[in-house]
Amino acid sequence: MKTFDPQAMYSEWMSQLVNHTPWQDWMKPATSVAELPVLDVLREAGATINPTVLTQLQTDYIREFGQLWQDFAVSKLPELKDKRFSSGDWHNHAMHSYSAASYLLNARFLMSLAESVEAPAKIKQKISFAVQQMIDALSPANFLVTNPEAQSKLIETKGESLAKGITQMLADMQKGRISQTDETAFEVGKNVATTEGVVVFENRLFQLIQYTPLTKTVHQRPLLMVPPCINKFYILDLQPENSVVRYAVEQGHTVFLVSWANPDASMGDVTWDDYVEQGAIKALEVARAISKQDKVNAFGFCVGGTIISTALAVLAERGIHPVSSLTLLTALLDFSNTGVLDVFVDEMQVSMREKTIGSGGLLPGRDLASTFSSLRANDLVWNYVQSNYLKGEAPPPFDLLYWNADSTNLPGPMFCWYLRNTYLENKLKEPGALTVAGNKVDLGKIDAPVFVYGSREDHIVPWQAAFASTKLLNPQGKNKNTFVLGASGHIAGVVNPPAKKKRSYWTNPAAVGKDAENWFSGATETPGSWWPVWAEFLAEHGGRMVKAPTTAGNKDFVPTEAAPGRYVKVRAD
């Protein structure tokens, strides 16, 4: 089966737009399911569908299409419940209403075809994902000739909206990505990543920031935060009112944070071992030395959780246990269930990456960004195609989307090792199956209580996969692990400050480490943010309260520059 490339899909749309040949032919009502072009794609992929199922789909399709045509003939407008067609322009004009209804009818049956394919689960998932991407791209809302909202705007502005939209489209083509926010409205260190602190250490992989206390006394054991290296750390420090970093400082913790370098060509040889040894392990060493504590509280978010957990397992093999607790937020240790990302990982794709960048080179940040955008294409791609290009609207400022566009590169050897040994072969969960930094990795040897958080609607780290970490960590210890499930997704679920009084979370202490669904069936839902639960966990393992330090660093680790440091300001593009 052909590999789906989201950037190629976007480029193809651009080409079709410029050439005035939209893809609507794919979505015209057919006289039978068999005439739908997607069947050619399925046949090319070697997929088959049970003839009985196909016949039933065809019968249902013809019946629903016939009803749609009859309604149109008597001027009965169809119901359009899809949010893409919520504007009155779609409901007030019969042709546009019919166009949208026909699209939705075809979309529904295209997905029914994909879901009826007789194939192994992974192949079936790939087919469904590729078909869904095609469906999303072919929405009549994505083309000027079939979007009544854009046409109304064109008339109202006497052509100005189209001129502005083309200008914005050409500018984005130069950047190689779609603008999702007004990027001129933000500056790292000025109105995002503003929590006060200083850089106390750096090597080629990271800078270590020590934040300034906001309380008169602090817990004696500091908190070391390891964010993901696939994007910038300031998702944890967007603005004061929604900053995880600032919240931890306000709770009386001396906070250290790893700010990963944005790799350039000089770092094309960096490996996973380097990220563990020269990154996480070195950060632990510095934080312990500055705080004069033998143990710290460790924290890992997303890939940062995978890195810090690997580092702690390596140290455990060396007989070193440097943490009093470990926090993992939406992190994967058991890669049995990787959600929709699984469609991008198979032997063919991993081998291709290994051949091109496995021995040296970089994975460009834009490749990762386009991949993650494709996971929610309607929200993160086509929504902006419609507003920015067809309607000529400038995207409004939004700090989260500014961060989302501030992508990072990854060293090829590190990325390829990570892909093969975790996503493809899932070896990290197997005791002794991997050797990192010269030591066997056994996550079960990490000797510390663990707080694990998952987000219920996370499409990158399914919450059940996050929950699986509770079975790998402290497998023999009772009541040492805590699991909290929050509402919303991978980012919004994490960045949920108590002051906003939004969403909710679930807990079930008695069932941690057991089956995920059984855990949820007995869980208690509580309104509001999960942060206070985490704060209680940290306080329990933070040691006694001591006078807050008046200076950062020490004689061996002298502050060099103010937070957020210069590493985080390096852009991939």
pTM score: 0.90
pLDDT at 341 (0 to 100): 87
Task: Decide if pLDDT at 138 tops 70.
Answer: yes
Q: How far is CA 6 from the centre of its chain?
A: 15
Question: pLDDT at position 35, please?
Answer: 52
Whether the pLDDT of residue 13 is over 60: the answer is no
Torsion angle of the four alpha carbons 338, 340, 342, 345, in this order, in degrees rounded to the nearest 10 = -130
Phi first, then psi: give them for residue 193, nearest 5 degrees: 60, 55
Q: pLDDT digit string (tens) for 201-257?
A: 999 999 999 999 999 999 999 999 999 999 999 999 999 999 999 999 999 999 999
Say if residues 198 and 259 touch (Cβ distance below 8 Å).
no
The pLDDT score that the predictor gives to residue 372 is: 85
Q: Which of 67-81, 245-259, 291-305, 454-468 has the lowest mean pLDDT?
A: 67-81
Catalytic pick from 224, 302, 428, 485?
Answer: 302
- For residues 12 and 37, what is the distance between their CA atoms, to the nearest angstrom? 17
Domain 197-364+409-569: top CATH class: alpha beta
**Which amino acid belongs to residue 271?**
T
Indicate whether 312 pLDDT > 90. yes
* Residue limits of CATH 3.40.50.1820 in the chain: 197-364+409-569
Q: Is the bond preceding residue 564 a cis peptide, omega within 30 degrees?
A: yes
- Dihedral (C-alpha) 297, 300, 306, 309: value to the nearest 10 degrees? 0
pLDDT band, residue 124 (cuts 50/70/90): confident
Q: Which pLDDT score, from 0 to 100, does residue 37 have?
A: 54
Checking if the pLDDT of 1 tops 60, the result is no
Strands (E), 307-353: 323-329
Q: What percent of the chain has pLDDT over 90?
A: 73
Q: Alpha carbon of 17 to those of 13, 91, 97, 168: distances in Å?
A: 6, 25, 22, 14
pLDDT tens digit sequence for 439-459: 999 999 999 999 999 999 999
Output 119 or 169, whichever has higher pLDDT.
Answer: 169
| Mean pLDDT on 86-105 | 91
Residue-level pLDDT at 65: 87
Look at residue 3 and tell me whether its pLDDT is greater than 60. no
Q: Return the percentage of the chain with pLDDT > 70, whole number.
A: 91
What integer pLDDT is reported at residue 119 of this predicted model? 83
Return the DSSP state at 395.
P
Q: Say yes or no to pLDDT of 531 above 60.
A: yes
| Residue 176, pLDDT score | 81
- Averaged over 533-559, what is the pLDDT? 96
Confidence of residue 38 (pLDDT cuts 50, 70, 90): low
Q: Looking at the predicted structure, is the pLDDT value of residue 9 above 60?
A: no
> Among 145-149, 217-221, 474-478, whose mean pLDDT is lowest?
474-478
Q: Confirm whether 302 is a catalytic residue.
A: yes
Mean pLDDT of 399-408: 92
Convert the pLDDT of each residue in 176-196 to its tens digit: 889 999 999 999 999 999 999
Residue of 301, 299, 304, 302 lying closest to 325 (CA atoms): 299
What per-residue confidence (pLDDT) applies to 54? Answer: 85
Whether the predicted pLDDT of 47 surpasses 70: no
Is 12's pLDDT higher than 70? no
